[in-house]
């Protein structure tokens, strides 16, 4: 534990991105947060600990392997100000990943204790959905971790996300805020708004837990096409409703941290 605390000592803000269930856009929010922060000049690290579905590497265009020197892991810099470490660098491509609980915990300890980040303003950690070993280990190990909760407006997603927030609260960790993703879609032809997944999820959570709703992001089909190779919402979708909403969400996050 002491080794881990020393290793992450020079990281000012650590953010764990969590969600109740898969498919709500957690990785998209995590990767784009890291890309947006790096774009604004913050020294940023992105750590992908989703052992079962690591797709962060593709989204940021991670091609270089980390260097391992005398037990220390040096994360590649994929863009100016952005270093990335992903569990996918340590498993063969397309190999089924069968890890048991203790193995996952060991891998995460290693990531936290052995990755030589240097000085960082932000470390963004993308964990698998739910309240399994991975988010639990990070919450347990890092007392100053801040949890960013991603949900959709849907009641079912909200039900699962309550469990994630309860975990954060039970462990006395700091909930940074909630991001509601896929809040609505605007028809590109007539401008009409469709609430694809109902409404109110983020707002209800904000009221229930007194955790700030930091932003509501629209569904934008063009995102699916380019969500790889380091193309980000803030750099490649300038002027879109999604970019405006995302930029304002990032601003809310930056307002609440120690910079
Ligand atoms: P999770 O990490 O929660 O499983 P992902 O971030 O992998 O979810 O997103 C699931 C899918 O939804 C991806 O194809 C992603 O590109 C898409 N997606 C996420 N957010 C949006 C959005 N706001 N608009 C359009 N597509 C989105």
Phi, psi dihedral angles at 205 (to 5 degrees)? -65, -40
215 lines ligand 1 (CB under 6 A): no
74, 68 in Cβ contact below 8 A?
yes
pLDDT in tens, 99-116: 788 888 999 999 999 999
Cα distance between residue 82 and residue 127, in whole Å: 18
219 lines ligand 1 (CB under 6 A): yes
23 lines ligand 1 (CB under 6 A): yes
Q: How far is CA 111 from CA 76, 85, 87, 190, 232, in A?
A: 14, 8, 9, 48, 25
pLDDT for 54:
62
Nearest CA among 117, 112, 121 for reference residue 39:
121
Cα distance between residue 125 and residue 30, in whole Å: 7
Token pair for residue 63? 């091609």
Q: Where are the domains of the chain?
A: 2-255
Q: Return the CATH class of domain 2-255.
A: alpha beta
Residues of the chain with pLDDT below 70 are: 53-54, 227
Closest atom of ligand 1 to CA, residue 224 = 16
223 lines ligand 1 (CB under 6 A): yes
> 25, 185, 201: which to mutate for ligand 1, most atoms within 8 A of CB?
25
């Amino acid at each position: 534990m002491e080794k881990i605390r020393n290793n992450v000592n020079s990281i000012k803000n650590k953010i764990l991105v969590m969600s109740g269930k898969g498919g709500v856009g957690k990785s998209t929010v995590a990767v784009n947060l890291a890309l947006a922060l790096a774009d604004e000049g913050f020294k940023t690290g992105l750590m992908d600990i989703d052992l079962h579905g690591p797709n962060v590497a593709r989204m940021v265009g991670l091609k270089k392997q980390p260097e391992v020197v005398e037990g220390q892991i040096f994360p590649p810099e994929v863009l100016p100000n952005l270093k990335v470490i992903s569990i996918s660098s340590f498993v063969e491509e397309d190999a089924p990943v069968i890890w048991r609980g203790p193995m996952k915990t060991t891998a995460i300890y290693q990531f936290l204790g052995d990755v030589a980040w240097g000085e960082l303003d932000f470390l963004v950690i993308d964990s698998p959905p739910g309240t399994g070993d991975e988010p639990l280990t990070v919450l347990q190990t890092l007392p100053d971790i801040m949890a960013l909760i991603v949900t959709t407006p849907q009641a079912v997603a909200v039900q699962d996300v309550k469990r994630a927030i309860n975990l954060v609260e039970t462990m006395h960790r700091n909930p940074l805020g909630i991001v509601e993703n896929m809040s609505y879609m605007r028809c590109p032809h007539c401008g009409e708004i469709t609430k694809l997944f109902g409404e109110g999820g983020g707002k209800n959570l904000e009221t229930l837990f007194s955790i700030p709703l930091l932003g509501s992001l629209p569904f934008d089909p063009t995102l699916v096409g380019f969500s790889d190779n380091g193309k980000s919402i803030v750099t490649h979708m300038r002027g879109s409703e999604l970019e405006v909403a995302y930029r304002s969400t990032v601003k809310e996050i930056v307002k609440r941290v120690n910079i």
